[in-house]
Every structure is written in structure tokens, then in C-alpha cells.
């Protein structure tokens, strides 16, 4: 067969033709694995060749392979689960409340063993790494992301280097024995998450290393987007409202992007679900900027004395000092495009919501997920919804207590303990 390769399609020669990667702002096309538009720093978004979502007969999130930026299925039964709530719905006076449960709850068919939706990001990212011939992945995390990527890396040919502030190591466990391709590097007591990020940046700059890219990684966003896809195929249409606790807001962007694809598919409705994004007070820079109709986050105004604010959070996983809020295609644009809104939740409100959810639905949830539940409670109190509206509540993590009944948790130890981000890491990793 004779194929003429046009300049803009040149990349496609060696890459799968399943999708292209385009800047959300100027439309320019990029190679797979690029992370930002060189023109305007816009997010790159995957554009899938198949406009209709064909479900694959695969376990877990593999069902959504059509709209994941990987060629081959991932080896996992981990995936999103959607079910209709009766008890919590009744408590709140809602008739169409659906729960997207992302955690461990085998009785319901939820098999995310690290108990958060970060696993939905980890598997496609690892698969993409494998397919692109990159074998050393670097990330910084304070908890759920580290567990998810470590778990997804068990037994694979990809070395993962995960930098964690020492205070976060207690949250690092796996439901299985780790394999020796998983490397934890802890940053001593005085170092915080920002130092971990800095160190991860240094490691990622070493030859052969790949940074996972955070919100800019389409495998992460499209993986998280499967929560919205699962809801749409389970319910038969897109929900009217989407509730989620956010720290970076990447899940909100992902839900928006997934709904744009569902809208283009045309079988799931024409109206984008309204994003209801929930931050945990007192550290809520996006909420603050949003309430002042600003695309820019101004540090001195929106998060003065960030460290002290973060120390007072109920769910400190939700602290992110540099969220992808302002960038083209980021959280601000997602809120504008979906007529979205934001909430701020106190410790007390989150604790109440956690108790309410666990009592009514009968499964434990993690602190950040409780913040999301509290957002829904607030929306109901403020009459921001009609009681018959179709609502999707993303329970971003849960079932840790349930998991402990079935598995022994293996707590991991760091391979290196570093005192400061100034250390010459290259010497250590030789």
C-alpha cells in the first residue's frame, strides 16, 4: 500500500493512528507524549479517531480502551463503578443520585485495591510508558498517587521513582509484596511536598527518566475520565451534575473532557454536566479565585501563608499550590464551559458528611471523598439542584477498611532518605 505522509501527519508514521494530540487553545498537533503547547502553554488533549464509544469486552477500565491513549489493554480489573444510591439519596431528598465509587468494595464490583481513583490514572500511564519504550518513570506524591503508581508497577518492566515527604511514608502501603522496580525516596522531616516535587524534577531531568507530567499527561486525564464514561453508559445518558472534591482539579478537567467526547458521540445527551468542584477550607486557592471571577490565582490573596492553611486541612491530599487552573483548557475553562460552580468545606462539614455517607451507603470512604459528599450536601441545602436532577457524585476513594478484611497491607520503606533537595541525586541513583 502506498501512503503519502502529509507534514502535519508525519508523526503518525510511527505512532498509533488511534488518536492525535492537539493543543486545546490553538489546535496545533503534537507528537504523542508531548506535554504542552510550545505556542501558548495550552493543555494538549487527545482526539480519538472513533467518535462513538465502543465498549470492549475487557475487565475494569479496559472497557473504555477506545478512549484511552494506549494501544493494548492494561492488565487490571481495576476500574470505575457506578450505582444508583437509595439510602443517601433518601437522606438528601434526591431521586436520581448516582455514585461513582472508586475504591475497594468487591460486593458491588469495585476492585481498586489502592482505594482511590488515582489508580485510573496510573494504569494507562504505565501502559503508555511501556508502549512508548520509556522504562523509568518519576513522580512526587504525598499518598494516593504513590500507592496507585506503585501498585500498577508491580511486576512490570518499568522502574518507578517516587519521591515522598517523610511524613507521607506511613500512607504508603500495597496490598501485595512490592517488586524491586519500585523505588521510594523520602525527604526528611523538614522537607514538604514542594521539596518532593523539586527533587522529582531533578530526577526526571536525568538521562532515561520520564516525568509523569501530572495534569498535562493525557493518560492520567483520560483515565480519570472513565468515571464519567462509566456513569454515562450505566445510566444511559450524561448526568446533569458532577460532584468531586479537588486539589489540583485534574479530575474536574477530565470529567469535562470526557463529557465533551460523550456529547460528540451524540447518544448520551447534548448538555454538558455541570461541574460542582469542592475544595477543603481553609486552603482553597481555586475557590477563592473563582469567587472573584478571576482566571489567575494570586498567591498573596488566594492562599496567604499557604503552609499554615494546609496544616489546618481535614484532607491535606487536597492541597496543591500550583493547580492547573488558569492554563488554557484548565479548571477555569472547564467551569466556564459547563456553567460550573465551586464550594468550600470545613473540617466539621466533611466529618459530618463522612459519617452520613458511611452510615447510609455502608462502606468507608477516605477524607477527600468526604469533602466531595459535603459539597453535595451543601448544594442541596443551597437549593442549587432540583431533587429529580440526575446527579453523579464521584467518591474518589474508599474501602480502605473493607480492604483490610481481605488483604494484609505491606508498608513500604524508602530506598533513600534525603535531607534536602540540594543533594546530588545522580550519584545516589548510579
Ligand X SMILES: *Cc1c(COP(=O)(O)O)cnc(C)c1O
d(CA 287, CA 274): 16
Residue 20, binding choice from Zn ion, ligand X, none, Cβ under 5 to 8 Å by partner class: none
Sheet arrangement for strand 29-30: 29-30, 19-23, 44-48
Residue 42, binding choice from ligand X, Zn ion, none, Cβ under 5 to 8 Å by partner class: Zn ion
In angstroms, give the least distance from the CB of 6 to ligand X.
Answer: 37
In angstroms, give the least distance from the CB of 321 to ligand X.
Answer: 13
Chain residues 240-299 in contact with ligand X, contact rule CB under 6 A: 245-252
Q: Does 329 bind ligand X (CB under 6 A)?
A: no
130 contact partners, CB below 8 Å, separation of at least 6: 156, 157, 158
Question: Residue 193, CB half-sphere, CA atoms under 13 Å: how many?
Answer: 17
Q: Does 23 bind Zn ion (CB under 5 A)?
A: yes
Question: Residue 398, CB half-sphere, CA atoms under 13 Å: how many?
Answer: 27
In angstroms, give the least distance from the CB of 30 to Zn ion.
Answer: 9
Residue among 20, 22, 37, 228 that touches Zn ion (CB under 5 A): 37
Residue among 40, 382, 388, 419 that touches Zn ion (CB under 5 A): 40
Contact characters 59-98, ligand X, x per CB under 6 A: ----------------------------------------
Q: Residue 430 is placed in which grid cell?
A: 548510579
Cβ–Cβ < 8 Å for 243, 391: yes
Cis preceding-peptide flag for 282 (omega within 30 of 0): yes
105 contact partners, CB below 8 Å, separation of at least 6: 81, 363, 398, 399, 402
Distances 202 to 185, 206, 404 between C-alpha atoms, Å: 13, 7, 36
Cell 522504562 sits at which residue? 135
In angstroms, give the least distance from the CB of 211 to Zn ion.
Answer: 20
Q: Residue 319 is placed in which grid cell?
A: 492541597
Q: Does 226 bind ligand X (CB under 6 A)?
A: no
Contact characters 398-417, ligand X, x per CB under 6 A: --------------------
Q: Total number of residues binding ligand X (CB under 6 A)?
A: 18
In angstroms, give the least distance from the CB of 81 to Zn ion.
Answer: 36
> Which C-beta is closer to ligand X: that of 376 or that of 418?
376
> Which C-beta is closer to ligand X: that of 269 or that of 372?
372
Which one, of 50, 53, 54, 43, lies nearest residue 21 by Cα?
A: 43
Residue 25, binding choice from ligand X, Zn ion, none, Cβ under 5 to 8 Å by partner class: Zn ion
> Which C-beta is closer to ligand X: that of 118 or that of 402?
118
Binding site for ligand X (CB under 6 A): 116, 118, 144, 245-252, 317-318, 366, 368-369, 396-397
Amino acid at each position: 500500500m502506498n501512503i503519502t505522509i502529509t507534514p502535519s501527519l508525519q508523526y503518525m508514521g510511527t505512532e498509533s493512528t488511534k488518536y492525535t494530540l492537539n493543543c486545546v487553545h490553538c489546535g496545533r498537533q503534537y507528537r504523542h507524549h508531548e506535554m504542552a503547547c510550545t505556542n501558548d502553554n495550552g493543555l494538549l488533549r487527545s482526539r480519538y479517531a472513533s467518535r462513538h464509544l465502543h465498549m470492549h469486552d475487557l475487565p475494569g477500565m479496559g472497557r473504555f480502551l477506545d478512549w484511552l491513549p494506549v494501544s493494548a489493554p492494561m492488565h487490571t480489573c481495576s476500574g470505575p463503578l457506578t450505582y444508583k444510591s437509595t439510602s443517601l439519596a433518601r437522606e438528601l431528598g434526591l431521586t436520581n443520585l448516582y455514585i461513582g465509587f472508586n475504591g475497594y468494595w468487591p460486593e458491588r464490583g469495585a476492585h481498586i485495591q489502592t482505594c482511590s481513583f488515582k489508580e485510573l490514572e496510573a494504569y494507562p500511564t504505565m501502559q503508555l510508558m511501556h508502549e512508548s519504550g520509556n522504562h523509568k518513570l518519576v513522580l512526587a506524591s504525598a499518598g494516593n498517587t504513590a500507592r496507585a503508581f506503585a501498585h500498577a508497577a508491580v511486576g512490570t518492566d518499568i522502574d518507578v521513582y517516587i519521591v515522598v515527604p517523610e511524613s507521607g511514608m506511613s500512607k504508603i502501603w500495597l496490598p501485595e509484596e512490592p517488586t524491586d522496580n519500585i523505588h521510594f525516596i523520602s525527604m526528611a522531616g523538614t522537607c514538604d511536598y514542594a521539596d518532593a516535587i523539586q527533587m522529582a524534577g531533578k530526577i526526571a531531568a536525568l538521562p532515561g527518566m520520564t516525568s509523569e507530567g501530572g495534569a498535562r499527561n493525557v493518560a492520567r486525564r483520560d483515565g480519570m475520565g472513565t468515571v464519567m464514561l462509566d456513569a454515562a453508559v450505566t445510566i444511559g445518558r450524561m448526568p446533569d451534575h458532577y460532584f468531586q472534591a479537588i486539589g489540583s482539579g485534574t479530575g474536574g478537567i477530565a470529567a469535562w473532557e470526557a463529557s465533551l467526547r460523550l456529547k460528540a458521540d451524540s447518544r448520551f445527551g447534548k448538555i454538558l454536566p455541570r461541574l460542582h468542584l469542592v475544595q477543603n477550607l481553609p486552603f482553597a486557592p481555586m475557590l477563592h479565585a473563582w469567587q472573584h471571577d478571576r482566571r489567575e490565582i494570586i498567591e498573596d490573596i488566594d492562599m496567604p501563608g499557604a503552609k499554615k492553611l494546609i496544616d489546618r486541612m481535614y484532607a491535606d491530599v487536597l492541597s496543591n499550590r500550583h493547580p492547573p487552573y488558569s492554563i488554557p483548557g484548565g479548571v477555569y475553562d472547564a467551569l466556564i464551559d459547563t456553567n460550573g460552580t465551586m464550594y468550600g468545606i470545613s473540617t466539621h462539614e466533611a466529618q459530618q458528611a463522612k459519617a452520613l455517607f458511611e452510615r447510609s451507603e455502608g462502606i468507608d470512604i477516605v477524607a477527600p471523598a468526604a469533602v466531595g459528599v459535603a459539597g453535595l450536601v451543601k448544594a442541596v441545602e443551597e437549593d442549587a439542584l432540583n431533587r429529580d436532577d440526575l446527579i453523579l457524585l464521584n467518591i474518589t476513594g474508599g474501602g480502605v477498611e473493607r480492604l483490610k478484611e481481605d488483604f494484609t497491607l505491606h508498608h513500604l520503606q524508602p530506598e533513600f532518605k534525603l535531607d534536602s533537595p540540594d543533594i546530588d541525586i545522580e550519584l545516589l541513583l548510579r
